[in-house]
Structure 1
Amino acid sequence: MTETPTPATVIRNAAFIVAWDETTGHHRLIEGQDLAFAGDRILQVGGHWDGPVAEEIDGRDRLVCPGLVDIHSHPSSEPMNKGMLDELGSPGLRMSSLYEFMPLFRPDLKGTLAASKVAFSELALSGVTTIVDLTVAYDGWVDLLAASGLRAVAAPMYRSARWFTGTGHSVEYDWAEDDGRTAMAEALDVIDAATAHPSGRLSGMIAPAQIDTCSAELIRDSFAEAQARGIKMQIHAAQSMVEFNEITARHGRTPIEWLDDLGVLTDGLIIGHGIFLNDHPWAGWPGSQDFDRLVASGAAVAHCPTVFQRRGVAMRSFGRYLRAGIPMGIGTDTYPHNMLEEIRHALINSRLMTGDVYDIRAADAFDAATIGGAKVLGMPDIGRLAPGMKADLFLADIKHRAMRPLRDPLNSLIYVAGERAVTDTFVDGRAVVRDGVALAFDLDTELEALEAAQRRAEAQFRELDFRHRSHEEAAPITYADRRDDA
């Protein structure tokens, strides 16, 4: 008996499709053709779909793209920092805001929930279909990840010590008596819960938080656990000069060298940021050959340009890492959780660092945000539009004013229109954005809740700050001194 074909959702006569060419192993642009999917899989890309149709989407004014893969994000906290950390850093701590300010301005549980929902909505609205959520686990987190509709990798962070500063120019570490083992055990339970979740869209990642807050034993044992489970491990490393100086002071080795010494600088490790190598102009640590060591290792790097560029910091350079064959993916890290903006900043910053407009092209960065991220995560069925792949994709309106005049649709999307042109996003064949509206959560309601959480955080800022400043003293409101409150 012949099996009856499943009716498909068909994007009919799409103006442009960023399709996967299996022969060349690259994305390619096709015009005026169909894309069909049913269930969680793509059935056909290109040509005319002649099978049964469940829903037909008029694609004549649409650019169809593979869903973006965000390999490093902090949804549970970062959205609340908008307006607070935009222009804030510690001059005595090489312009980082990690040590002096971020511990002072954190959401409570209600704020965490609102921040997460806002971030998940922003991600979907910018074409993201897969995220790695690096979060300190909280009650209800796994179910909230599932409710987002996104394909999510839960990466519950844990560590041996917390950092703090009492001076604004030095950082101290408060080490836990159990070396973070209790937190690690709890994180593994969360990973198990995510992997077993009935949605089928969740998985897990081992995430010792930062190289300088984790003992050698915790890092080694974490990587061994990741290898035993067949999953990835991600750790923040080479992300600040404070960390670089701390690791070289402790061990006489750069962060990259120390990871290598520990036996974890290899395939299966994702380095969050990986900016401050020994040859970075700020580092001044000759002879270590961090870049060559990284190239030879097989370890991947999660590149998140936006949060660093706000503090005058940039990788040197994204194009160099890519050309050397380092596995690279892109992440949003901070607010806004806007992947198209991260792609644009990755391109522009790489050119700024090299002084060469030909250093990197839009295709290079788009590859990193799609097939690159998929490869880093070990998910071969996402990041590309081809039959049999997951039905993870987004549509952009080529008639949007920011897309016109239209000559190169992907360049117009990345360099100009960004998320404003995104109309629809699908994950596993299910819509998470339709007609420009994120469906999982009421974004306006969650923004109201997030603003209320921000007010609560402001109220406790002074008592947490070692300098006893108000939040407005630490981060003055623009033109507040000229504000007329009458």
Structure 2
Amino acid sequence: MATTVIRNAAWIVAWDTARAGHAYLNDADIAFTDDRIVQVGGRWEGIADTEIDGRDRMVMPGLVNIHSHPSSEPMNKGLLEELGSPGLYMSSLYEFMPLFRSDPAGVEAAAKVAYCELMMSGVTTLADLSVAHPNWLELLAQSGLRGCIAPMFRSARWFTANGHVVQYEWDEAAGNQAMEDAFGLIERARQHPSGRLMGMVSPSQIDTCAPELLQDAVAHARARNLPFQLHAAQSVVEFHEITRRHGKTPIQWLDSLGILGEHTIIGHAIFLDHHDWVHWPTRRDLALLADTGTSVAHCPTVFCRRGITLQDFGAYKAAGINLGIGTDTFPHNMLEELRHVGYFARVTAGNVDATKTTDAFDAATIGGARALRRDDIGRLEVGLKADLALVDIRHPMMRPMREPLRSLIYTAAERAVRDVFCDGRQIVADGKPVGFDYPAACAALEEAQARALERAPALDWARRPVEQMTPFVFPRMG
């Protein structure tokens, strides 16, 4: 039994049980023994095996990320920041994202890079939505993160042969087998000796999954008390496809199948019936999500790059929907994602009060914990898991230091995060990940991207060279 105490922490984002919310504590101690918090506030009078000087630190709960794609998204840096398909309502999902495919070495490098970025931005719990790859569990365990693996499966693949029509190639038997394989991998995660891995049932996208697959998947999740997550209402193309097939919005169709509920997370849920891009006559979707207890994983960065926003975060919260935050793109920087939550909610609503920092931080902590069906993470309270991050309040980008969370989210971001603990184990020390060599992983990813770019034109419907699909910012001379 080893006890660590952070002495005289200048700021602690503690849990106030009386008001059931986060609150600031100043100049107090926080202590944890092995993987559990044993004291928040006051002065620790017990034995301490390790003491950390907290006089220049803010201690906050480790962030909970409920939607990410570590094994693929880091590969797209320098390619997709300004790339979308005008014929497909500005989405890059169908025409471009399938082109830049990594080989196995690149998958591992991408995952390492993403895990490092997540930890350095204060994340301690991660939902990893990936296509299963051989070393997945061991990589996630090596990172030190509390990992929720979500091996994706589907009944069909999407493709475009012309850049403005999306088609689907169906193989329901293969999808069913992939689902069974995913169930087996989730069980292996539950039994992993690290004790920090869990699973999530995650059919890939609403438009690529047969209704029977969705119903079988959610039944499995409910029987085992697992979270269930599905990409839905993420593009106008998908909205039109589901309304064409079923005459209902994506959310209303899922409700008719019995998919919505407290185990379910909808990845993105942007194009609901009130969104002005879809011009649908009903106004039921927000209430359906709220009334069924369905959570929403909000990932603003990847969409705002293409002029797409939720309408809006504050309205979802006001409707009573549980919201969590994810990093559905590069960089996997949770603090920058929180910055974008606030900025784009206010722009979309035209109201500075539409979303406050409190709302975004709650979504990244207690909202995420609730979505993942965990009551032992997301807040600093005695008896909960020792998942926490230490922020240097004397970092130049945190100063002048009046309001620590605003300074962290809107200015300093990961640059001020010094140390991160998950399950009582240090996973970031002095701003660097403990489990991986971040620069080496970035170098390996760069090499993997070069290999992927060589293959990309052969995968494109028009056989375009990469520089034509995604030009450089400026032309190259010579």
TM range (shorter): over 0.9
1:381-437 CA-partner distances (Å, limit 9, x unpaired): 100111111000001110111101111111111111111100000000101000011
Q: What's the CA shift for 1:200?
A: 0.4
Residue in structure 1 matched with residue 337 of structure 2 by the alignment: 342
1:262-299 CA-partner distances (Å, limit 9, x unpaired): 01112111000000001101001112521222221211
Q: What's the CA shift for 1:145?
A: 1.2
Q: What's the CA shift for 1:444?
A: 0.7
1:193-242 CA-partner distances (Å, limit 9, x unpaired): 10110100000010000000000100011111111111111000000001
Q: Does 1:279 pair with 2:240?
A: no
Q: Does 1:201 pair with 2:206?
A: no
Distance 1:7 1:133, change over 3 A: closer
Q: Does 1:400 pair with 2:395?
A: yes
Task: Tell me the distance in 2 between the aligned counterparts of 1:202 and 1:340.
Answer: 23
Residue in structure 1 matched with residue 145 of structure 2 by the alignment: 150
Q: Does 1:33 pair with 2:49?
A: no
Residue in structure 1 matched with residue 7 of structure 2 by the alignment: 12
410, 413, 416: which one pairs with 1:415? Answer: 410
Residue in structure 1 matched with residue 165 of structure 2 by the alignment: 170
Q: Does 1:102 pair with 2:97?
A: yes
58, 79, 91: which one pairs with 2:53? Answer: 58
Residue in structure 1 matched with residue 460 of structure 2 by the alignment: 465
Task: Tell me the distance in 2 between the aligned counterparts of 1:365 and 1:287.
Answer: 28
1:333-382 CA-partner distances (Å, limit 9, x unpaired): 11110111111100111101111111111111101100111111111110
- The amino acid across from 1:453 in the alignment is A
Would you say the 8 A contact 1:179–1:218 is kept in 2? no
Q: What's the CA shift for 1:484?
A: 4.0
- The amino acid across from 1:204 in the alignment is G
1:165-215 CA-partner distances (Å, limit 9, x unpaired): 001001000001515111111111110110110100000010000000000
Q: What's the CA shift for 1:55?
A: 1.0
Q: Which runs of 5+ in 2 are unaligned?
A: none
- TM-score, length basis structure 1: 0.97
Residue in structure 1 matched with residue 115 of structure 2 by the alignment: 120
- Aligned runs of 1:464-483 on 2, under 5 Å? 464-479=459-474, 481=475, 483=476
Task: Tell me the distance in 1 between the aligned counterparts of 2:396 and 2:431.
Answer: 15
- Aligned runs of 1:329-478 on 2, under 5 Å? 329-478=324-473
Q: Identity of aligned pairs, percent?
A: 58
- The amino acid across from 2:375 in the alignment is P
43, 48, 56: which one pairs with 2:43? Answer: 48
1:7-63 CA-partner distances (Å, limit 9, x unpaired): 421111111000011111111101111111110001111111111111111111101
Q: Which runs of 5+ in 1 are unaligned?
A: 1-5
Task: Tell me the distance in 2 between the aligned counterparts of 1:94 and 1:414.
Answer: 31
Task: Tell me the distance in 1 between the aligned counterparts of 2:182 and 2:283.
Answer: 34
Secondary structure at 1:227 match in 2: helix
- The amino acid across from 1:114 in the alignment is A
Task: Tell me the distance in 2 between the aligned counterparts of 1:354 and 1:65.
Answer: 29
- The amino acid across from 2:5 in the alignment is V
Distance 1:175 1:32, change over 3 A: same
Would you say the 8 A contact 1:207–1:235 is kept in 2? yes
Residue in structure 1 matched with residue 302 of structure 2 by the alignment: 307
- How many residue pairs match? The answer is 478
Would you say the 8 A contact 2:2–2:34 is kept in 1? no
- The amino acid across from 1:209 in the alignment is S
Secondary structure at 2:205 match in 1: coil
- The amino acid across from 2:309 in the alignment is A
Residue in structure 2 matched with residue 3 of structure 1 by the alignment: none
- The amino acid across from 1:118 in the alignment is V
Would you say the 8 A contact 1:107–1:457 is kept in 2? yes
Task: Tell me the distance in 1 between the aligned counterparts of 2:86 and 2:320.
Answer: 34
- The amino acid across from 1:236 in the alignment is H
244, 268, 276: which one pairs with 2:239? Answer: 244
Would you say the 8 A contact 2:63–2:364 is kept in 1? yes
Task: Tell me the distance in 2 between the aligned counterparts of 1:322 and 1:162.
Answer: 33
Task: Tell me the distance in 1 between the aligned counterparts of 2:283 and 2:251.
Answer: 9
Residue in structure 1 matched with residue 254 of structure 2 by the alignment: 259
- The amino acid across from 1:84 in the alignment is L
Would you say the 8 A contact 1:100–1:168 is kept in 2? yes
